[in-house]
């Protein structure tokens, strides 16, 4: 398995917790994976379609 280019958006299947979406987004934008996961969990207490968006990204973003 090769490592994808850093400028492409892929789900990170090696460092995933659930689907690899947060890990892939963090890698793509150069953010901390833990910070992005924490921000997502905190955002889930706010009203909005965060979980639906996560599931859609899980289905749409290709695996690495």
pTM of the predicted structure, to 2 decimals: 0.80
Task: Give residue 5's pLDDT.
Answer: 58
pLDDT digits (tens, 9 = 90+) for 2-59: 565 557 889 988 888 889 999 999 999 999 999 999 999 999 999 999 999 999 999 9
- The 10 Å CB-count burial string (b at 16+, else e) for 9-45 is bbbbeeebeebbbbbbbbbbeeeebeebbeebeeeee
């Amino acid at each position: 398995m090769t490592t994808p280019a850093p400028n492409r958006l892929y789900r990170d299947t090696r460092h995933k917790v659930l689907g690899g979406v947060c890990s892939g987004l963090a890698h793509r934008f150069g953010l901390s994976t833990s910070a992005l996961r924490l921000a997502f969990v905190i955002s889930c207490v706010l009203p909005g379609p965060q979980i639906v968006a996560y599931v859609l990204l899980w289905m749409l973003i290709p695996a690495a």
